[in-house]
């Protein structure tokens, strides 16, 4: 599920607490819910490629067990400052713990899968 920022701004703490409260972060099918934030700068080629790759990975590997929030730092610079974003694109995996940050090139699916600590295909 992809959510474009702009409607209501939630703090990181609110999002964390909400995700934690949602069935203790476990979906009905037993899989953990992944809570992800992608920081981009407009709809550049790199931003579009990162978004496309993350949607593909989410669809193929996580099904309905993920939430991806896309934040354009040109439109919402406060959010980037709050999460201490120094380069884009940046992907933050908030849940499941441990929290991780992937910064820069998000064009390689294998590196994203490794960074999100997902099982490789076929395992």
Residue 108 and residue 49: Cα distance in Å, rounded?
10
Helix/strand/coil for 120: coil
Please answer whether residues 104 and 87 qualify as being in contact, where contact means their C-beta atoms are separated by less than 8 angstroms.
Answer: yes
- The reported pLDDT for the residue numbered 93 is 95
Cβ–Cβ < 8 Å for 82, 15 = no
Nearest to 75 by CA among 15, 2, 6, 8: 6
Quote the CA–CA distance of 26 and 23 in Å, as a whole number: 5
> In whole numbers, what is the pLDDT of the chain averaged over residues?
82
Distance of CA 10 to the CA centre of its chain: 15
Is residue 18 very low, low, confident or very high in pLDDT (cuts 50, 70, 90)? low
Residue 23 has pLDDT above 80, yes or no: no
Whole-prediction pTM: 0.72
CATH of 2-115, one of 3.40.190.290, 3.40.30.10, 3.40.80.10, 3.20.20.140: 3.40.30.10
Is the confidence at residue 56, as pLDDT, over 60? yes
Backbone angles phi, psi at 28, to 5 degrees: -60, -35
Q: What is the mean pLDDT of residues 29-33?
A: 70
For residue 70, the cross-strand partners are 4, 38
Helix (H, G, I), strand (E, B) or coil at 36: strand
Q: Domain locations in the chain?
A: 2-115
Q: How far apart are the first and last CA of the chain?
A: 24
């Amino acid at each position: 599920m992809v959510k474009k920022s702009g409607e209501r701004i939630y703090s990181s703490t609110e999002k964390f607490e909400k995700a934690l409260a949602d069935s203790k972060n476990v979906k009905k099918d037993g899989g953990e819910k992944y809570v992800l934030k992608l920081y981009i700068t407009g709809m550049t080629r790199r931003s579009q490629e990162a978004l496309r790759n993350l949607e593909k990975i989410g669809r193929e590997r996580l099904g309905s067990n993920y939430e991806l929030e896309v934040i354009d730092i040109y439109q919402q610079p406060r959010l980037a400052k709050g999460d201490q974003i120094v380069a884009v694109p940046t992907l933050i995996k908030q849940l499941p713990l441990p929290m991780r940050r992937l910064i820069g090139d998000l064009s390689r699916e294998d590196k994203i899968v490794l960074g999100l600590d997902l099982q490789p295909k076929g395992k």
